[in-house]
Amino acid sequence: MGSKNKLKRFQENENFNNVIQPSRQEIFDGFSLKGEWHTFFNNNNPIVLELGCGKGEYTLALAKKNPDVNYIGVDIKGARFWRGAKIALEENIPNVAFLRTQIELIDLCFTQEEVDEIWITFPDPQIKYKRTKHRLTNLSFLEKYKTILKKGGLLHLKTDSEFMHAYTLGLLHGLNYQVLYANHDVYNSSGYPSIVTEVQTFYEKQFLAKDKAITYIQFKLEEK
């Protein structure tokens, strides 16, 4: 994407009423929507996050499927989720928002037990050992998610990375957390929620075209 296109998208995001772009300082000083997201959506409906939402395909699809649930796509790359934000406005999907921030700050953007469910779709697996701290399912991130999730809240990891799948599964088993479903080739299995295969991201379609297996884990951050 050219710099001019990125700049244009950044400028449009500034005017989209479904895009929130706090600075790091604003978040550290006390993010105004933390614990107050119901005021943004003007309802008390459940809140579901898509972390590393990219273009926001899952955020949009889930919001269309469940109008009585509020969905927030979270990503630091505003030029990517610009597409999802624009579509949500054009199609008048009111239960969608996009938050531009680093996921490491997620526990400063939501208060305790404010979130009902979390989706992590095709994150960078950060395979190199020195990049472990950036994996979205490492222990540090799981602790942040546990803080903001309501009791019984579900997490979903969908990825093309066997490494990410195995790493996460091993960590969850080591912590004795509840793994409700896990499969390393979800399109050739059964028993998963239909939304897992009903929605395909841009990159997922490319992976499937190359016959690459898609993995999926559904779990809770609660001991068995």
User: 3-state DSSP call for residue 72?
Assistant: strand
Nearest by Cα to 218 from 166, 155, 171, 160: 155
Is 124 annotated as catalytic?
yes
Task: Give the integer Cα–Cα distance in Å for 115 and 207.
Answer: 30
List helix spans (H) across the chain. 3-15, 24-30, 37-41, 57-65, 78-90, 106-109, 139-148, 162-174, 195-198, 202-209
Kindly report the backbone phi and psi dihedral angles of residue 179, in degrees, each rounded to the nearest multiple of 5, phi listed first. -100, 110
Nearest by Cα to 117 from 75, 73, 155, 60: 155
CA angle 120, 158, 1 (to 5 degrees): 70
Strands 115-121 and 47-51, by their bridges, are parallel
Identify the active-site residue in 124, 160, 185, 211.
124
Q: Which residues are catalytic?
A: 124
